[in-house]
Amino acid sequence: MGIVSPGFQGRPRSSQPSLPPGQYLTEDFPVLSAGPTPRVSLDNWEFVVTTEAGAEHRWSWSEMLALPNETPTVDIHCVTRWSKLQTNWKGVSLDTLLAEVETAADYALVHSYGGYTTNLPLEDLLDGQAWLVHQYEGGELPAEHGGPARLLVPHLYFWKSAKWVRGIQLMLTDEPGFWETAGYHDYGDPWREQRYQGD
């Protein structure tokens, strides 16, 4: 053909429309954990939603599995600049888990086994945007990636997708979580490159 100039194929992959600014594509699945991997037995596992009024809604492992499950295929974006496209998960939509929960809260603080926390607006957990997932690519979710179950909120940077999730605290006012307290952005939209406070 002779028309394509040398180097043209070397365009950075981040010019792909499917990648947010400053991100590169990875095929492997890096593990990013701020501490040791907590071991949670399925007999003791529970997921608890606590409202601002103190009401608690609990699901055991078998109760969670018995809920309608969905199989989202989503792109994920870590603030350390890797992105993975078309990842396949199985789990329960937060719309399902929060359907019966009466709340006036605008904010959620997500709690993990092991003590990790992360915050986000409650509306970002609703309308098909977030799942409690327990399978990855057709197998049980590996412990290092958050098994038995993790949160999946793919439209925000992946630190919002709490591994080993234990529950969600609904609140009237915003409260920063682990990385947000350490200087990460309160919201974390990868398309607006909200990596750190002030971005």
Between 78 and 85, name the residue whose CB sits nearer to Mo ion.
78
Q: For the CA atoms of 183, 188, 194, 199, what is the dihedral angle to 10 degrees?
A: -40
Considering only CA atoms, which of 121, 144, 149, 161 is closest in space to residue 48?
A: 149
Considering only 11-19, 85-93, 109-117, 189-197, which stretch makes contact with ligand MTE by CB under 6 A?
109-117
Among 114, 121, 126, 189, binds ligand MTE (CB under 6 A): 114
CA atoms within 13 A on the CB side of 182: 9
Q: Does 116 bind ligand MTE (CB under 6 A)?
A: yes
The least distance separating ligand MTE from the CB of residue 171, rounded to whole angstroms, comes to: 19
Q: Does 55 bind Mo ion (CB under 5 A)?
A: no
| Residue 161 to residue 130: CA distance in whole angstroms | 9
Q: Does 61 bind ligand MTE (CB under 6 A)?
A: no
Considering only CA atoms, which of 99, 103, 110, 107 is closest in space to residue 166?
A: 110
The overall longest dimension of the chain from CA atoms, in Å, is 69
Q: Does 184 bind Mo ion (CB under 5 A)?
A: no
> H helices of the chain, where?
61-66, 94-98, 178-181
34 binds, among ligand MTE, Mo ion, none (CB under 5 to 8 A by kind): ligand MTE
Among 21, 24, 26, 34, binds ligand MTE (CB under 6 A): 34
Residues lying near ligand MTE in the complex (CB under 6 A): 29-34, 78, 112, 114, 116, 145-146, 158-159, 161-164
Residues lying near Mo ion in the complex (CB under 5 A): 32, 78-79, 159
